[in-house]
Structure 1
Amino acid sequence: MKGTTPAATVVGLLVTAALVLTGCSSGSGSPDPNASSGASTSTSTTPPPAEIEVDPAGGSGDVMPDEKITVHVVRGDLDDVTVVGSGGDEIEGTVQGQTWTSGSRMKPSTEYTVTTTAEGPEGGATTDKTTFTTHDPDVTATYGIVYNGHTVGVGMPVSIQFDSAVTDEKYRRAIEQAVSVETSPRTEGSWGWLDNRQLMWRPKDFWTPGTSVTINAPITGYQTGEDKWVAEDASGSMTIGRRQMATVDIATHEMTVSRGGQTIKSFPVSSGKPGKETETRSGMKVVIGKQREMTMDSSTIGIDKGEKGYYKVDTDYNVRVTWTGEFVHSAPWSVGAQGSTNVSHGCVNMAPQNAKWFYKHSLAGDPVNFTGSDREFKPTEGIGVWQFSWAQWQQQSALA
């Protein structure tokens, strides 16, 4: 048997002692409650973020104003979406499930920022922000609500007037569907296009005095023609005044004025002398506006200086009833013919004091019915909505 060296014996004793000490390190047979149960150690992790999809995608350009914006949370729960244009306008929308969809159109030539907040699948908020830019059109279409804020006569329709033609039926139809009128008291009426620039809402019959009218035209992002887009919403109101109506009998040379159904004034007048270009038009016209003093120049209706029928004269107390140059105005030079003969170039001539009264007591929107002429007033020559029967006017709607 081999002998053992003293050094080997010492090493064996040290190993044995170490094992004994390791086995009794707690001082008892129970495990240390603070000791790790294994060799590996756990570490805290951040919950996975929500996954969000936005259309149009961030960085997109030339987005058409009528495109829908959608925000969809693929993984997680949708909390909030805001869409704000560079001018501060906000796009509203609706939520269904985990998807937000825009409910209004966008302005052209505008940068929009979409900010989305969602909760991840294991908790924790995620905020996503993207931007895109809408199409820059050749033409930004403009329009206005005529007589906004005015007190008007019982014949005045609601009028939305575009500065250029709404060229296609599909554009007129879409715009008509977007606009609205509210009245108090409730009034039956219909939208119709007088021409391709004038969208009007006419009551079935003349307004009830005192009616309040509110107009809303939220047509930002609507198209009016080839690469023509609207960039603003508009709203307005008007109030219907007293019921005043006038009748001009061209054949008997007389004007009568009624208020609330009762005749209050009667005046001798002289209307347009016979002739293709001078005879006063028959039909239901509406006062368009008033101008205290003006110079009437036949060159504005195509009769230039030096030509037969040319005139240029200063007039007072001018009440306009057509766009084609027909007014009721003071004409001291024709007083001798008033009540007996038609001598004007198409206007209604009155004595100065009579014209002053009519001017003072007229409102834009007062109906003026002209009779006794073979020359018919065409609807587009003025505010011609009352030249249509109710059934005919309803057919002027793009939705008819």
Structure 2
Amino acid sequence: MNPSPPTRTVVSCTLLVIALSASVTACGSDGHPLSAAPYDAADQISFNGPTGDGKKADPDKPLEVTADGSGRITDVTAVDATGRYVAGELDAGGGRWHSTSPLAANARYTVRVSTENRDGAPGRRVLTFDTGKPLTKKRLNVTFGPRAGTYGVGQPLTAELSRPVKDKAQRAVVERALKVDSMPAAEGAWHWVDDKKLHYRPKEYWPAKATIRVRSNLHGVRISDRLWGGRAKPLRITTGDRVIAVTDASSHWMTVYRNGKEIRSMPVTTGKPGFETRNGVKVVLGKERLVRMRGTSIGIPRGSSESYDLRVHYATRVTWSGEYVHAAPWSVGSQGYANVSHGCTGMSTGNAEWFFDNVREGDVVKVVNSQGNTMAPFGNGYGDWNLTWKNWRKGSALLSGTPEGPSAEERARLRPESV
């Protein structure tokens, strides 16, 4: 006796809205069942749900297709009018299929059911159905960031939710609906920063000159009994050249690379003992030609020997707490020789102006060999790159605990779309 085949998962969903008609013979003119076109399998399958009369399917309920015993189901697929598929599971014997992910509300689906009879002849049934409105009016809206524009290759994407989502299964529903497409393709993943915020980054930095689109397929999708997906405005950004600035705090030197080629090297000073500059990868958050910097902003009291109040030019911000790369003409004598700042990276006015003019938001600023702590992944800018790829994936509701490397869902996500 051959063992039963394993349960198969198919991308689909299904529901009935029409009465099933009588089947037709599967035999062709030569009498051999396998030589015939697929027969109408209406009398071999049944569905749970409404059967006409203008009724609509309840999107809260899972869907089910069953075979009557004279044949078996071989495949079920369904897609709504916007191209969204819903996952389902077919049992080993082909007697029952049921949906395993939610349907969208107020949507129209086209369902294709494939069968075969006891002689092995193929059957087919195609249905369309509509789903009704959700019973609740609560919506989960999504706002994507950053704003549209061109960024450096270190810029993460963000998704801000209008309501907290704590349950892992519900997070998986949300995350599955947030689609990112990159041209050229780049393997990446979402990471839940907290209950209302997700970040997306590639395994490595984005490709230079890439086009990246992010959109939500969450509209009308049931997340929980009282929460449904709302609309979201899609976002398109592009990347510029691959610009990476590396500061070695021990040698007091910064080297800037564009597309892998060194374009400038210059002396700097970083944080002195007690004010050490953070190690790790940071991402440019913005640029300000003139900033007033005061010691009180980092906890230094007025009147202290460390107190300062300065007007600083060509300031490139890398943390929200006030770490910059900026002009520091007062410390030129120490630049290249000693660390004398309060945590920022200081350089001559000319070098700071050049740096200011040659970097953009999203470019990478990496500090090595400092005695400071490593930049936190979240909360003070974009320290996302300071998590290993393995640990980044642990923050995904879909990928946590899966082997490293792209899953089938990830590979599908990486397929480029027409642009």
Output the TM-score relative to the length of structure 2: 0.61
Report the CA distance between 1:238 and its aligned residue.
1.1
Q: Which residue of 1 aligns with 2:287?
A: 290
Quote the Cα distance in structure 1 between the aligned partners of 2:158 and 2:109: 32
Q: 1:227 to 1:287 in 2, by over 3 A?
A: farther
Q: Which residue of 2 aligns with 1:92?
A: 107
Q: Which residue of 2 aligns with 1:102?
A: 131
Structure 2 unaligned regions, length at least 5:
1-51, 64-80, 82-104, 112-125, 401-419
Report the CA distance between 1:160 and its aligned residue.
2.0
Alignment of 1:28-67 (within 5 A): 51-53=53-55, 67=60
Q: Give per-residue Cα distances to partners, 1:164-193, cap 9 Å, x unaligned.
A: 754443443222111011111222222222
8 Å CA contact 1:269–1:338 kept in 2: the answer is: yes
Alignment of 1:379 with 2:408, yes or no, is: no
8 Å CA contact 2:60–2:222 kept in 1: the answer is: no
Report the CA distance between 1:219 and its aligned residue.
3.4
Q: 1:134 to 1:197 in 2, by over 3 A?
A: closer
Report the CA distance between 1:236 and its aligned residue.
0.5
Q: Give per-residue Cα distances to partners, 1:9-30, cap 9 Å, x unaligned.
A: xxxxxxxxxxxxxxxxxxxxxx
Structure 1 unaligned regions, length at least 5:
1-49, 57-65, 71-81, 83-89, 107-132
Output the TM-score relative to the length of structure 1: 0.63
Residue identity in the other structure for 2:290 = E
Quote the Cα distance in structure 2 between the aligned partners of 1:338 and 1:170: 53
Q: Give per-residue Cα distances to partners, 1:277-327, cap 9 Å, x unaligned.
A: x21011122212222222224444444546674443322211111223211
Q: Which residue of 1 aligns with 2:43?
A: none
Report the CA distance between 1:347 and its aligned residue.
0.7
Q: 1:222 to 1:323 in 2, by over 3 A?
A: farther
Q: Which residue of 1 aligns with 2:168?
A: 169
8 Å CA contact 2:136–2:227 kept in 1: the answer is: no
8 Å CA contact 2:244–2:257 kept in 1: the answer is: yes
Q: Give per-residue Cα distances to partners, 1:247-295, cap 9 Å, x unaligned.
A: 00111111111112121111111111111xx210111222122222222
Quote the Cα distance in structure 2 between the aligned partners of 1:354 and 1:214: 35
Quote the Cα distance in structure 1 between the aligned partners of 2:330 and 2:320: 24
Number of aligned pairs?
292
SS across alignment from 1:234: coil
Q: Give per-residue Cα distances to partners, 1:333-390, cap 9 Å, x unaligned.
A: 2222211221211111111111111011001121111011232222113212211222
Structure number, greater radius of gyration: 1
8 Å CA contact 2:57–2:129 kept in 1: the answer is: no
8 Å CA contact 1:166–1:225 kept in 2: the answer is: no
Alignment of 1:340 with 2:337, yes or no, is: yes
Q: Which residue of 2 aligns with 1:233?
A: 232
SS across alignment from 2:356: helix
Q: 1:196 to 1:352 in 2, by over 3 A?
A: farther
